[in-house]
Chain A
Amino acid sequence: MDVRVIDADSLQARAPAQIFTYLTAHGWEVTFEDRGSWALEQSFVEDPVEVWLPKNRQIRGYPSRVAQLLKVLSGVENRSELQILFEITHFESDIQRFRCFPEGVSGTMRLEEGEETLAGLKKWVLSGATLASSANRAAIQPRRKPLMATRFMEQVRLAVPEEGSFIWTVMVPISVDAKDSPLPIVAPGYSDTFDVFNRRVTTALFSSTKLAFGAAQEFLEDRTSLARPFKERVVDGLSANLCEALCQAGGERRVPYELSFSWAQHRPASVSPEVLRFGSEEIRVLGDAAEELRNTEPEEGVTIQGYVVRLIRESGSGPKRITIAGMPDGVSEDRVGHYWLELDAEEYDMAMRAHGDDKRVRVTGDIVRRGNRRWLSGAYGFSIIS
């Protein structure tokens, strides 16, 4: 959207330090400096452009200078002034932009679609946080989220949506203590504290999303095996959770979208971000792939709580099987399911007592689907909850 920012208050609010950081992070170099201002140039372009930046926002006409600078940047970067101003303001955040193309008037979307998209985005970010929290790579991420991931989620912000067509912006703060620095500026960095984990999450989000995008495209090209391209990438960080989130973000109508990433200006990352464009077909494939992974790959280390509803012992030495009607830890009460598992003799006796006394039991294992049944494989820690 091509609009000029001329609101003096908004422009006045952007400190020289923020703008300086943005410029230097985008390859602008100081070519001249006096007591009042800097001149900066982008030296690597064929026809260098110069911008002037006052060192002090108390100078008269400061908003006008910032407006002029935005105009030049918008032309050089071929981006909207609003987008550039946003990044200048949030220079201490990694920014993920989700731009979707719903039907209807630009800048609007159906309420129901918006709800789905936001739910999908939340799961998407959580999948990245979970991935960054552990070295373990599993097709299905643990239901109980690591503490680091839940703490991280509390810091993630959503910005005011932008028009064009409909843009949700997720912001992850990278610097602790980032604030308006006093002059003179210690350029180009800041004396802040770099939040390594938060950056790990955003880069994990980018790389895993790229993996999912690549897997979907690979399937669409040869259409032989849906599972293979996705399973192959699990070891690198792809998961059913990620695929489900990306599918949900498109909503039931599989609204196409693109995801773009940018790193905090003063903390460039070694990964070069790129725009990932998901069409309706890719979104549908991601949904199917997530289901396939759920059906074929174990969900590791799940603790189930519930009541013993079935006891099967065909002979004294034969396998001893039970069914628990219950749910995994951390799942809401209305999602009770049946879980099958095998126990040793001692545990089987405990299960019989729990059944007779109508007491709840607890056990941990890997959930594996066999036909329509969910089996808890490698079960351990079977106990009665008092």
Chain B
Amino acid sequence: MQAIAAAAGLRVTKEELEPEGIDLQIIQDRKGLQPRTQRIEVQVKARTGVRVVDENFRVDLRAKQFHALNGVFQVDYDVRRYLVLVTVPDHFSEYYRCGDEDHLRFHNRAYWADLMGMPDLPSSQASTTVSVPKCNLLTSEALVELVCGDHEEAVRWMSA
């Protein structure tokens, strides 16, 4: 996440008193624009061998983790929240590889899902399975668009 954000010109912070179910806050500093900053909050889940059904990753979440993400923006949250799924190899030693002199490779990929507005789980339900679309690949461009909420601004930002 840090690397993707850095490649998108965004800041990543981890607050001392972080909201429950939130791992990182990603901030876009927009000089000369109002508001001066835009931000999102993400819950990051690193998983191996994730099931895929109909082009969707199927991810199990505990009720508490799910309820940190399914609220309504501007009612339950003042900042948009997303789930980020990082698919990783079975063994941690495979997470990244140094390539030639000029690059290193991360394995495998990160995807995002918007669970905001989904109904709460019944109080008797301890966990749920959510879908993360395979098409929601978290690239630097996609991350900027999530943060600023505007495709055109994201394009301008990345080409500036």
Q: Give A residues with C-beta under 8 Å from B.
A: 4, 6, 8, 11, 31-32, 34-37, 39, 41, 48, 50, 52, 54-56, 59-61, 63-65, 67-68
Contacts and interface: CB of A to CB of B under 8 A. Distances in A.
Contacts of A63: 17, 19
A67 B22 CA distance: 15
Contacts of A68: 15
Interface string B18-43: 11101000000000001111010100
Interface stretch (B44-52, B75-83, B91-99, B131-139): B75-83
Contacts of B106: none
Contact of A39 (B18, B37, B77): B37
B34 A35 contact: no
Interface in B44-68: 68
B71 A60 contact: yes
Contacts of B15: 64, 67-68
A65 B36 contact: no
A61 B35 contact: no
B31 to A, nearest CB: 10
Contacts, number: 67
A60 B20 contact: yes
B18 to A, nearest CB: 6
10 contacts: A8-B17, A32-B34, A36-B73, A48-B36, A54-B78, A60-B19, A60-B20, A60-B76, A61-B41, A63-B17
A61 to B, nearest CB: 3
A36 B75 contact: yes
A50 B37 contact: yes
B18 A64 contact: yes
B102 to A, nearest CB: 35
Contacts of A64: 15, 17-19, 22
Nearest to A61: B19
Given A6-B16, A64-B18, A59 B35 contact: no
- The B contact surface, by secondary structure, is loop
A31 B76 contact: no
B34 A61 contact: no
Contacts of A55: 78
A11 B34 CA distance: 27
Contact of B77 (A11, A59, A67): A59
B74 interface: yes
Nearest to B13: A68
Nearest to B22: A61
A98 B10 CA distance: 45
A36 B18 contact: no
Nearest to A49: B36
B77 A61 contact: yes
A68 B22 CA distance: 15
A50 B16 CA distance: 19
B5 to A, nearest CB: 18
B16 A31 contact: no
B36 A31 contact: yes
A269 B73 CA distance: 39
A315 to B, nearest CB: 88
Contacts of B37: 39, 50, 52
B35 A67 contact: no
Contacts of B36: 31, 39, 41, 48, 50
A52 B78 contact: yes
Contacts of A4: 16
